[in-house]
Amino acid sequence: MVEILIVEDDRQIANLIKVNLKDAGYKCTCAYDCIEAGDLVERQYFDLVLLDIMLPGISGYELFDYIREKEIPVIFLTAKAQVKDIVKGLKMGAEDYLTKPFEIIELLARVETVLRRYHKQDTVVRFQDVTVDLSSRVVKKGVKIVNLTSKEYELLLLFVRNKNVALFRDRIYESVWKEEYMGNSRTVDLHVQRLRKKLNWEDQITAVYKVGYRLEDRK
């Protein structure tokens, strides 16, 4: 399982990130200052570090120099949104730079992109009795192969990686169709209906009034 270290002094933000990454299938550890984070990196291996910059005591920039020696990819998460700060972080060698406030769906997409770049992404995604082989793009419900179109496949991954999260139609459209949402709610609705039918998920992909849809994980 992919292991991610979250270095964030705001415990509420850190725990929110941790819960959502765990729901997406990642194993997460939180550190609330650079000393604790440095000790964790020294003792165990991580596939990715999500690193705040404005931390008590030692800054995230200083901790980054140490993490870089371990060849662990880093995504900066910070409220420092000025261009000079973004450029500094990227020039130091960070894989990405996400400014606060951000949406969890965007964070998950960036995490996935970095892990894919480093070939550290799990090759199989599971949700209840559905498995998705990312290398072959084969989807199975139980032992039966489910034939999905490319858009249905991307839609399925989006739901599974954001289970229990209400996804707005515009976010769904822009994530799956890779273009700006122009009120194409019917396109999203039709694809959701087909995916529900093919997976027998009529009760699991629920409509959220005036928002979009949510994949319910009823454990």
Average pLDDT over residues 118-136: 80
The CATH homologous superfamily to which domain 3-117 belongs is Response regulator (3.40.50.2300)
For domain 124-215, give the CATH number: 1.10.10.10
In one letter, which amino acid is 80? Answer: K
Domain boundaries, the chain: 3-117, 124-215
| Contacts of residue 140, Cβ cutoff 8 Å, sequence gap at least 6 | 130, 131, 133, 146
Q: Which of 43-52, 76-85, 176-185 has the highest mean pLDDT?
A: 43-52
* C-alpha atoms less than 13 angstroms from C-alpha of 33 in its C-beta half-sphere: 5
At 98-116, the pLDDT tens digits run 888 888 888 988 898 888 8
CA–CA distance, 156 with 172 (Å, rounded to integer)? 11
Q: What is the pTM of this model?
A: 0.64
At 160-219, the pLDDT tens digits run 888 888 899 998 998 898 888 887 778 999 999 999 999 999 999 999 988 899 999 876
User: b/e per residue, 63-79, with b = 16+ CB within 10 A?
Assistant: bbeebeeeebbbbbbbe
Q: What angle do CA 109, 2, 117 make, to 5 degrees?
A: 50
